[in-house]
Amino acid sequence: MRLRAVLAVTAMVLLAACGDAGGRGVAAAPPGGGAPQAAARTASQSPTPTFNMDDMMGFYPQQTVFVADAEKVSAVTLLNHFTRYAIATRGKAQVATDTVTAAGWLYVLDGLETAAVRLRTFDLGTGVERASRSDIGLVAPQRAIATAVDGRVLVLKSDVRHAWVDAYERLTLKPLGTVIEKPGCGDRLLASQIRLAIVCLATGEIAVNELHGGATTLLAPLMPGLAAAVMANEGTIYAVTPDRRFATAGYGETTLTPIRWPAAWTGTVLPDGLAIANASATAVIAQTDTDGSWLRVMAMRVIAPQASQRLAGRLTGAPQFGIMAFYPFAYFTSGGSVRHVQIDTGILETMTELGQGATIAAVVDR
């Protein structure tokens, strides 16, 4: 109790100091890609930063969620729900992160609805732009960017005949050639520490190969009409359909093995409504039913249901544009509202409001 009292006094002193500073503690938009207007709006709405005792007490480590909307990518922190910076974009962007290095990199792919798709590198912590190139070509419309453990930036591209993944150097974005390709469609890119895959949701095709090229294998049997497919860090692939067909293929396996779906988990799996919670062997699945929307939580080591957390009512608040997870939280948006839910307890909280179309693009542990 004495420690809490000291911390509380410290908090009040800090708040007073911030108030005297006239809002100078609010970070300005970074040069070379920031959004000064967005930063100004944030400062006027909250000139004194919110102080969160949970931050000092160390209840949760920091996480940052990157949210893309029609005009920017916002970096929103878990603790205090603070918008650290915003990067202006040409339409809704796609995002990937590289946290292998101490500093970390953020990659933003935008202009997807134009003939001039742009790929840029930013400092993960500050949003300062480091490199840019606009000769990327035809890019898949969603979840088409990822990073490899060796630092390469991977971009999924497609045309009417085939789909392929081109690699770029982590900082300069110098082209490094094609890593994998497959005939037919490709609309999702999956990557892990040891392999990557191109997914076609409509046909259920999942083409897999090693990170450094080599033969490409098509997983069987096909699961047409996929709602989502993801890859865990160790290379295991999980795929699910709207009507609750769930399957997995471990590293080195070429067969998708069905996973028994819990009978009590009725309803429809939402598009991109599957995620693996980093730092845990837990799958989270967003589902809607006649009584509302739910986050289904399944342990993957023993393949067993763990919990079913209510997210919203029957008519409003259901996750839109998919979910992402970093244990112990899952993140989603609904009607422009950015939300997180604690996977173990179901505690649900709104982080910020960013307008219609806001989409969770990436999550990191810093």
Q: List per-block mean pLDDT (blocks of 10 residues) for the chain, which spans 366 residues.
A: 39 40 37 39 37 52 96 96 97 95 93 91 97 94 93 94 96 95 96 94 96 85 98 94 97 94 96 90 94 94 89 87 96 96 96 93 95
**Three-state secondary-structure class, residue 185:** coil
d(CA 288, CA 354): 23
pLDDT of the residue at 297:
97
d(CA 113, CA 212): 30
Which residues are CB-contacts of 231 (< 8 A; sequence separation ≥ 6)? 190, 191, 192, 195, 196, 197, 237, 238, 276
pLDDT of the residue at 58:
59
How far apart, in Å, do the first and last CA atoms of the chain sit? 29
pLDDT of the residue at 114:
83
Which of 170, 174, 241, 173 is CA-nearest to residue 206? 241
pLDDT of the residue at 300:
86
pLDDT of the residue at 113:
86
pLDDT of the residue at 207:
97
Contact 283, 269 (CB under 8 A): no
d(CA 96, CA 109): 9
pLDDT of the residue at 27:
38
**Three-state secondary-structure class, residue 5:** helix
pLDDT of the residue at 47:
37
Contact 173, 153 (CB under 8 A): yes
Segment 237-255, tens digit of pLDDT: 999 999 999 999 998 899 9
d(CA 9, CA 230): 46
**Three-state secondary-structure class, residue 337:** strand
pLDDT of the residue at 355:
82
pLDDT of the residue at 37:
40
Contact 239, 247 (CB under 8 A): yes
State the pairing for strand pair 94-98/83-88.
Answer: unpaired
Segment 155-213, tens digit of pLDDT: 999 999 999 999 999 999 999 999 999 999 999 999 998 899 999 999 999 999 987 76
pLDDT of the residue at 280:
76
